[in-house]
Chains A and B, each alone.
Chain A
């Protein structure tokens, strides 16, 4: 499993691996928003937590179809399925590798981009915390979507349509944590619900992804 993680991370940072693409996309989206809504700082400050969350979510979505599709195309997935690793383990590692190469950079970049959106001073910490807690759920749910659409030609759009509704709870509570944090309110309840979604997804979805993958590999 460690070998698989090391390989996926190495592939991620080599040419064509897509590392940084999500981050660049996130940067561009958050830069475009002030152009779109105008230079009203009060308005920007109010929408900043939500924009950061939606930006991170879309950036995450962008790289989902790489999680399993590349391994499917070159036959590695067949070989991994016959290897001594449980498929549940394989999909968990794939999700973890996706989170490290896509989610983690987004988490770290979000406070910096908050400056562009005139985020309230109290909000920086909570944007960081909410993304750190919420993005693992995005990766795990995304891996499930990737397992569902594997083998479909141009499955990327279908993948987005399947996965985006599943992202709704994470987005609601994640953005709520960031918004309340920015307003200086108590964040405990949405933060706990967000963590619950993340942990629940991490615990249950690898089994669903593995079941779907077994059927799709046939």
Chain B
């Protein structure tokens, strides 16, 4: 099943940021969003993830099929790496966390408290969470922040394996992951004309 975004208009803080955004994300495909800071990448991803409603347009095929990873990893510093992952696996009705630990080189850290990890290690744990969800559509917001080159490699390999298994990925990132097959969508072309959003979004 494809994720189809049609003529989407989104706003942030009561101001329209993007309009007329349309794309299709087929199984096995990846789409990378680009654009300068503030263009609305995060807002678009949060809208696709269902965290905020669009002003206009429609999104289909993302409900209950996507795993979202935002700027913060949602880790509990007083739980161990394995406990953090097991929790998210259980929330998504799954158990196996071994593959995710292996894919992001976290096996040696499994018994460490998440609070004692470095920023890059936390990020790896946050990305490993995507694998335990078992969801086919990954929605990623700047997934490579604070990762070193080797970890970016691990992440790219994980994304590739996910795509090969029929999953798809929508991500906003500034660095080159070496994913030749990924399409790139530059959001600056969809910038909304400067005007206030019609409705006060707090009351929608």
Contacts and interface: CB of A to CB of B under 8 A. Distances in A.
* Most-contacted residue by chain B among A83, A85, A215 (CB, 10 A): A83
A161 B202 CA distance: 22
A218 B52 contact: yes
Interface in A66-80: 71, 73-80
Q: How many B residues touch the partner, as a band? A: 20 to 34
A138 B86 CA distance: 31
Interface in B3-59: 46, 49-53
B70 interface: yes
B120 interface: no
Nearest to A73: B72
Given A10-B79, A84-B93, A3 B51 contact: no
A4 B91 contact: yes
Given A74-B72, A82-B51, A215-B202, A11 B79 contact: yes
B76 interface: yes
B91 A3 contact: yes
Majority secondary structure, A binding face: helix
A157 B92 CA distance: 35
B79 A79 contact: no
B91 A83 contact: yes
B76 A84 contact: no
Nearest to B139: A82
A11 B76 contact: yes
Interface string A167-178: 000000000000
B142 interface: no
A82 B50 contact: yes
B166 interface: no
A2 B90 CA distance: 9
B202 A79 contact: no
B201 interface: yes
A15 interface: yes
A14 B70 contact: no
A208 interface: no
B176 interface: no
A11 B74 CA distance: 14
Interface of B: 46, 49-53, 64, 66-79, 83, 86-88, 90-93, 129, 133, 201-202
12 contacts: A2-B90, A3-B87, A4-B91, A7-B76, A16-B78, A74-B74, A75-B72, A75-B73, A76-B74, A76-B76, A84-B91, A217-B51
